[in-house]
Amino acid sequence: MTPGEIRTAVLDILEGIAQDDDLGQLDDSVAFREQLELDSMDFLDIVMELRKRYRVQIPEEDYPKLESMGSTVEYLTPLMADISA
């Protein structure tokens, strides 16, 4: 997957979790928690959806790398490079 495809995939997951938030205004450089009403369980739901949909394993120590859309896409790009969208 390309970085753009990964961003779209993460947005799709967020749409199911943050249904009341306007994802069209999402700033890729700002932490999700500063822009969206996400709690720790919502964050875990994101990680679990990535695992379920794309078989991506994210170790707990890497969770801080998923702070914003930009850092999430950067982290996932090498992990999802061989996955077709």
Which is higher by pLDDT, 33 or 71?
Answer: 71
25 to 22, 44, 78: CA distances (angstroms): 6, 23, 26
To the question of domain 3-79 being in CATH 1.10.1200.10, the answer is: yes
- pTM score of the predicted model: 0.90
User: How large is the average pLDDT for residues 24-37?
Assistant: 92
Q: Are the beta carbons of 38 and 32 closer than 8 angstroms? A: yes
